[in-house]
Amino acid sequence: MIRIAHLVDDTNPGGVTRYLDFLSTDPRFGFAAHEVIAVEKNRAGAVQTDAHIIVSHLAVSWRGLPGLMALRARHAGTPLVHVEHSYSEGFVARNVNARRRFGTLLSAAYAMFDRIVAVSQTQGEWLVRRGLVSDEALAVIPPCVDLSAFRALPAPDGPVRTVAALGRFHAQKGFDLLIRAMRASSRQDLRLVLIGDGPDRDALVALADGDPRISFAPFAADPAAALAQADAVAMPSRWEPFGLVALEARAAGRPVLVANVDGLTDQARDGAIAVAAPTVEAWTTALDSLGIADDAAPRATGREEAAALQWMALAADVLAPQAEGRAAA
């Protein structure tokens, strides 16, 4: 059987961890044995594995570049694949001043790999447009988890009353913008619950300033149970390479408001509701316009099977040169 080693340097609860749990345990990925290997940050070169394919889910950085070079040298005959979970056009716009230097970093890191996997079509188009990845080296495989628990939730009945925002309390997620929009909304029947934790928690609580329509709940280990309490979901992210919460909410039959950025634009093409501008006014209008919850787009289906087929095709593709070499010998 094909053996695939997945390298990860962030094992905190979150989308990447849940995605790797899904890859390594779900029978739909049984075409290979998937092993998840926790790697000390910037120490990829220390990895030892006899896997047929090594997949990096690591965060690319200048400090980590020597480790990637060592990983490539140590496993010179093994296909290497990198999944880009972190960087996107929105990330660069918000966080990077020295953009030419940053492009050099990504180009140098990506050169170590046989394939680069984008987690959304929009992110992949950006990588190619910026000359960071060639069309031939790029694959697009959106992340997924087992969505059965979300599909099993009964559809909300009646008007949207509770809007949930799930994720890390960090500037990336744009929850400050959402709170301001809620405070500006004239709808007294609407409630906003922010579910999660993170470094911006105190600032967000202060920003809510006691508005009785806004509440906070701790990190949800069971996202399906959290969504069961909501009629709709809001994702005002400032950058978001994919946006797993939007997929889960769509599978649960909830209307999803998303920022018009990065991978969330893919989600909008699949049925989420794009908010045109990253402004308080635009988000207030979007919140005020939420109507009947069962007007949501059809539930997301088939994503688990599609992800399995995409990974199977990628594995066959990167192993093909070795198979051809054996046949020629």
Q: What pLDDT sits at residue 108?
A: 97
DSSP code of residue 82: E
| Domain coordinates in residue numbering, the chain | 2-144+304-328, 148-295
Average pLDDT (164-178) is 97
C-alpha triplet 214, 218, 223: angle, nearest 5° = 100
Percent with pLDDT over 70 in the chain: 97
| Contact assessment for residue 102 and residue 92, using Cβ atoms and an 8 Å cutoff | yes
Fold of 2-144+304-328: Rossmann fold (3.40.50)
Q: Which residues contact 98 (CB under 8 A, 6 or more apart)?
A: none
Lowest mean pLDDT segment, chosen from 8-12, 23-27, 140-144:
8-12
Q: Give pLDDT tens digits for 70-112.
A: 999 999 999 999 999 999 999 999 999 999 999 999 999 999 9
Query: CA-CA-CA-CA torsion for 139, 142, 144, 147, nearest 10 degrees?
Result: -130
Burial class (CB in 10 A: 0-12, 13-18, 19+), 251: buried
Residue corresponding to tokens 């910026």: 130
- Cα distance between the two ends of the chain: 22
Percent with pLDDT over 90 in the chain: 89
Q: Give pLDDT tens digits for 22-74.
A: 999 999 999 999 999 999 999 999 999 999 999 999 999 999 999 999 999 99
The answer to pTM > 0.85 is yes
> Could you check whether 2-144+304-328 and 148-295 share the same CATH topology?
yes
* pLDDT, averaged across the chain: 94
Q: Domain 148-295: which CATH class?
A: alpha beta
Lowest mean pLDDT segment, chosen from 55-64, 151-160, 233-242:
151-160
Alpha-carbon 238 to chain mean position: 13
* SS3 (DSSP) at 259: strand
Three-state SS for 167-231 is CCCCHHHCHHHHHHHHHHCCCCCCEEEEECCCCCHHHHHHHHCCCCCEEEECCCCCHHHHHHCCC
Residue 125: in which H helix or E strand, if any? helix 121-129
Q: What pLDDT sits at residue 5?
A: 98
300/126 Cα distance (integer angstroms): 25
pLDDT at residue 256 tops 80:
yes
Average pLDDT (282-295) is 88
75/243 Cα distance (integer angstroms): 32
- Helices 15-25 and 244-251, packing angle to 10 deg: 60
